[in-house]
Chains A and B, each alone.
Chain A
Amino acid sequence: MSVTNLLENWSQFRHKHPVEDKPHAEYKWAMSIDLDACTGCNACSVACYAENNLPVVGKEKYSHGFSHHWMRIERYWDEDGREFPDQGAQFLPMMCQHCEAAPCETVCPVGATNHTGDGLNSQVYNRCIGSRYCEANCPYKVRYFNWYDYPTTNNVWPEPMNQQLNPDVTVRGKGVMEKCTFCVQRLTVAKSDARSQGRTVRDGEVQTACQQACPTGAITFGNLVDPEARVGKQWMQQQVELAVDHQAKDQHEHAEQASKLRGYRIFEELRPYPSVMYLERVRESAV
């Protein structure tokens, strides 16, 4: 940190990063979730527990809202007050949206949560001091705090269950915030392998745990920069753009093709520019 460096590269440090004027170089990890395919079966959530060393907190703690499901399945009913929910329920997998302009990043006093070059919203456990401002400022409430020291709590990882812990993921102690990482441990390995072969990661080469488990393939994950990536094609086809708070779907002037689209992002209007696009659930009109 020297003042000379500051003055020399002033313009570079004044860039709004990474949205708008500074596009992503190699990778921009993003996701799309087809709510029409999602059956709410919870496979993704359990897979996440297995992959990311999530503690099982037990009934008492769960009742206080100390649950740790980075990937939670929400179930919504129609609010039209009919006797039966005869259009079924609506399921929504909700995890960290890895916003491009993340509200959580700016407020962390120690800079434990930052934006990475690949457009991930990083959470560095051993830097976190537990002020919990990030969660306070998260519109989706998808950050989970270690209210207790789970590694040393009874029946969380009793011998030999601790042998199942994933060595690539830190087991968080008390007092740190945590959240979905898009399985960064897998991404890092994939990127490293790709680099050794002098290329970038191919589409489908790396999967997040939830995507890998999902029986209906509702979850698509990939590199938005890569033109071959399925996720990119989906975003393109749904005309959803990353750093925009008003998508083609919302514009009234060309309503007719806009109505054909079903891609949307939650809380678009708050301008966090989330990296997760949801596809509206479709319901048959004939019956």
Chain B
Amino acid sequence: MTEKDIREDIAWAKINKDVLKSLENPRKMYWVIIFIALAMIGVAVGAELYQYLTGMGVSYKNNSHVWGLYIATFIFWIGMSHSGTLLSAILHLMHADWRKPIYRFAEAMTTFSLMTAGLFVMVHLGRLWMFYYALPYPSERWIWPNFQSPLLWDAMAIFTYLSSSVIFLYIGMIPDLAICRDNMKNGWRKKLYTTLSLGWEGTDRQWRNFRITYLTVACFLIPLAVSVHSIVASDFAMSQQPGWHITSFPPYFVAGALYSGCAAIITLFIILRYVFRFEEYMTLPILKKTARLTFAIAMVWTYLNLIEFASVWYGHDQASKDVLIYKATGNYAPFWWGMMFCGSIVPLTLAFTRFQTNIPVLFVVSILLNVGMWLERWMIVAPTFAHGYYPWAWDHDQWPSFVQWSIVFGSFGWFALLFMVFCKIFPSVSMYEVKEMVYHRSQETKKKELASKGLANKGAH
């Protein structure tokens, strides 16, 4: 690897300047995105209101086919959230410092996709206004939710995950907030940063505890992330339905989650790089590494996918086998094969170095991957309902209504809005860590040069 992840001679002051610029004036594209996002949300809100007032029926599910796109998209967003953890926590523990310029927005992505996922739980409920029945709080009624229900585990896991990753995001941001504080002219933003930075001054004591804390939370986050998606998987694996009751579901879901997450990172990477002029920091070498990572996970996912089919195919459960065959041949076949194509064939492009740094290609590919992953979620939910245990209740021609589609569609707007607003208000590249990165790398190279000059012992003094 000859080309460097990041220029080492880049001045620290410049780092501050560049990143802080992102808080000021992004390119036009930024406002375009915001506008589109708002429009999408508008549609979704309309649809949801209609559904809320009329009843779930308008989403065209039915008595055998009780779940639809909402749950599928819910899983999709939960999955999306995992990449943040992957980049910030796992790679942090592995001291892969190329993550440093990009982990911040990855974490933001985690947080916001979790929030989006949360919405779908609500949207999906028949009696949204009774939602609080599902919360474990001491009530006058004396009754508690049913802790045996995987849905409740979901709620718990997601709450934990959301709050933890928000905290993680925030803690990691404190030194940068201090920078913002120091460089802001007076105004509401200054106040905001002053409060949030908690009077950080980068003293040795603060740094010392900061390091440990960050490390510890990172350690917690990894098992948490894994548990979250395996619990989501158990919504299905714990049930009895053919095509759901599969042991390999939890790992399969987790892999899928990381997969879609990485794809999403590439997409956002490219967008941010352009919108906020981050070419200096979100460099092609880093993009290349991400692409390779994505490719690796894609292969893992493909493998687990095949494992799942195999275990069904060679298993004794005829019903599940029927469902599998139905997926491949029934009226969901186009989507199912679409998922296979997007999920397992498309990523092969990432194997070619030439494409690993080709931004347009990567952009298209990363979006295709996520389409594939979304389809995968839908293909998990729908066919089992359409072709379950009870033939009389089979329902092959159930097609989601416009209401469902528009709410799903709008959720992307919602996510984009939250995310873009965040990037505008908070530094989406971690300044202090980029500095560390630059610092350490320059130290390295210094050492190397000295060594090469054979003056190592002199340089020691």
Binding site for B on A (CB under 8 A): 1, 61, 64-67, 72, 74, 94, 103, 106-111, 127-133, 135-137, 139-141, 143-149, 174-177, 267, 270
When distances are taken between beta carbons in the complex, the residues of chain B under 8 Å from A139 are 240-241, 388-390
When distances are taken between beta carbons in the complex, the residues of chain A under 8 Å from B125 are 129-131, 175
Q: CB distance A146 to B64 under 8 Å?
A: no
A149 and B55 contact, Cβ closer than 8 Å, known pairs A129-B134, A136-B66, A143-B63: yes
Binding site for A on B (CB under 8 A): 54-57, 60-67, 124-128, 130-131, 133-134, 143-146, 148-152, 155, 235, 238-241, 385, 388-390, 392-393, 395, 398
Q: CB distance B239 to A111 under 8 Å?
A: no
Centre residue among B128, B130, B395 by max chain A CB count within 10 A: B130
Q: Which of A111, A141, A175 contacts B127 (CB 8 A)?
A: A175
Q: Which of A1, A65, A129, A270 contacts B62 (CB 8 A)?
A: A65
When distances are taken between beta carbons in the complex, the residues of chain B under 8 Å from A137 are 239-241
When distances are taken between beta carbons in the complex, the residues of chain B under 8 Å from A67 are 63
A111 and B56 contact, Cβ closer than 8 Å, known pairs A131-B151, A175-B126: no
When distances are taken between beta carbons in the complex, the residues of chain A under 8 Å from B148 are 106-107
Q: CB distance B240 to A66 under 8 Å?
A: no
The answer for the CA separation of A67 and B151 in the assembled complex, in Å, is 26
Other contacts beyond A111-B144, A135-B66, A137-B240: 8, CB < 8 A: A107-B148, A109-B152, A135-B63, A136-B385, A141-B63, A141-B393, A174-B126, A175-B125
The answer for the CA separation of A199 and B145 in the assembled complex, in Å, is 35
A103 and B149 contact, Cβ closer than 8 Å, known pairs A65-B395, A129-B130, A175-B127: no
Q: Which of B128, B133, B239, B385 contacts A103 (CB 8 A)?
A: B239
A148 and B54 contact, Cβ closer than 8 Å, known pairs A109-B152, A111-B146, A133-B149: yes
Q: Which of B62, B124, B130, B146 contacts A64 (CB 8 A)?
A: B62
Q: CB distance B63 to A144 under 8 Å?
A: yes
The answer for the CA separation of A6 and B133 in the assembled complex, in Å, is 23
The answer for the CA separation of A1 and B57 in the assembled complex, in Å, is 38
When distances are taken between beta carbons in the complex, the residues of chain A under 8 Å from B144 are 1, 111
- Quote the shortest CB–CB distance from B188 to chain A (angstroms): 40
Closest to A148 in B: B55
Jot down 24 A-B pairs with beta carbons below 8 A, ordered by A: A61-B57, A64-B62, A65-B63, A65-B395, A107-B150, A107-B238, A109-B155, A110-B146, A127-B133, A129-B127, A129-B130, A131-B134, A131-B151, A133-B239, A136-B67, A139-B388, A140-B389, A141-B63, A144-B63, A145-B63, A149-B54, A174-B56, A174-B126, A175-B55
The answer for the CA separation of A130 and B143 in the assembled complex, in Å, is 17
The answer for the CA separation of A133 and B131 in the assembled complex, in Å, is 15
Centre residue among A61, A66, A94, A103 by max chain B CB count within 10 A: A66
- Quote the shortest CB–CB distance from A101 to chain B (angstroms): 11
Q: Which of A1, A64, A94 contacts B60 (CB 8 A)?
A: A64
Q: Which of A66, A127, A133, A270 contacts B57 (CB 8 A)?
A: A66
Closest to B151 in A: A109
Q: CB distance B55 to A174 under 8 Å?
A: yes
Q: Which of B128, B151, B388 contacts A107 (CB 8 A)?
A: B151
When distances are taken between beta carbons in the complex, the residues of chain A under 8 Å from B385 are 136
Closest to A74 in B: B392
The answer for the CA separation of A139 and B152 in the assembled complex, in Å, is 22
A132 and B146 contact, Cβ closer than 8 Å, known pairs A65-B395, A109-B151, A110-B133: no
When distances are taken between beta carbons in the complex, the residues of chain B under 8 Å from A140 are 389-390, 393
Q: CB distance B56 to A65 under 8 Å?
A: no
The answer for the CA separation of A148 and B151 in the assembled complex, in Å, is 24
When distances are taken between beta carbons in the complex, the residues of chain B under 8 Å from A136 are 66-67, 239, 241, 385
The answer for the CA separation of A64 and B66 in the assembled complex, in Å, is 12
Q: CB distance B63 to A110 under 8 Å?
A: no
When distances are taken between beta carbons in the complex, the residues of chain B under 8 Å from A65 are 62-65, 395, 398
- Quote the shortest CB–CB distance from A282 to chain B (angstroms): 22
Q: CB distance B126 to A146 under 8 Å?
A: yes
When distances are taken between beta carbons in the complex, the residues of chain A under 8 Å from B235 are 133
A141 and B55 contact, Cβ closer than 8 Å, known pairs A66-B63, A136-B241: no
A132 and B126 contact, Cβ closer than 8 Å, known pairs A140-B390, A141-B64: yes
- Quote the shortest CB–CB distance from A111 to chain B (angstroms): 4
Q: CB distance B393 to A130 under 8 Å?
A: no
Sorted nearest first, the 6 A-B pairs with minimum C-beta distance are A130-B126, A65-B62, A147-B57, A175-B126, A141-B393, A111-B146
Q: CB distance A128 to B127 under 8 Å?
A: yes
When distances are taken between beta carbons in the complex, the residues of chain A under 8 Å from B61 are 147
The answer for the CA separation of A111 and B398 in the assembled complex, in Å, is 29
When distances are taken between beta carbons in the complex, the residues of chain A under 8 Å from B128 are 175
- Quote the shortest CB–CB distance from A125 to chain B (angstroms): 10
When distances are taken between beta carbons in the complex, the residues of chain B under 8 Å from A177 are 126
